Amino acid sequence: MDDDIFDSSLNLEEAHLKEGFNEGYKDGLDSGKEDGKQVGLKTGFEIGEELGFYKGCVDIWNSVIHVDPTQFSSRVQKGIKQMEELIEKYPVMEPENENVHEIMDGLRLKFKAVCASMGVKLEYNGYPKSSSDANEMGF
C-alpha cells in the first residue's frame, strides 16, 4: 500500500512536468509563428519597395525611349530591357523560391551598370535599416 502512495506522487510530478512542457511548447509555437509573420511582412515590404523603385526607373526610361529612341545608346537600352526581364522574372508570389536572391542581385548590378552607362548617379536607398542610418539621414 505504501508503494501506491509513492507511485501516485511520482506519476503526479511526471504528469505536471509533461503538461507544463506541452503548454510551453504550444505558447512557443504560437509566439514563433507571430514573430515569423512580422519578420515576413517587414522583409516582403522592403523587397516590394525596392522592386517598385527599379520598376519605376525602367518605366520612366522606357517612356524616354518611346519619345526619343536616340536618347539612350543601344547598350543602355539593352540594359533597361534586361532589368525589365529580371523584374518580371522575380517570383513575387514564391518567397521561398531559391532564385530570389540571385535575381535581386542581378537586378541591382544591372541597375548600377545602366546608371553608369548613362553617366547618372542614382541609387536605391530605401528606408533606414538601423538607428545609425536614421541618424545619418537627420531623423
Overall pTM > 0.75: no
Most confident of 4-13, 80-89, 127-136: 80-89
Whether the per-residue pLDDT at 139 is higher than 80: the answer is no
The domain limits of the chain are: 11-118
Whether the per-residue pLDDT at 60 is higher than 90: the answer is yes
Helix (H, G, I), strand (E, B) or coil at 46: helix
Residue 111's pLDDT is what? Answer: 94
Residue 34's pLDDT is what? Answer: 83
Residue 132's pLDDT is what? Answer: 45
- Residues 80/72, Cβ–Cβ less than 8 Å: yes
Q: What digits encode the pLDDT tens for the residues 66-117?
A: 999 999 999 999 999 999 999 999 998 887 888 888 999 999 999 999 999 9
Could you give the CA distance from residue 6 to residue 37 in angstroms, rounded to a whole number? 47
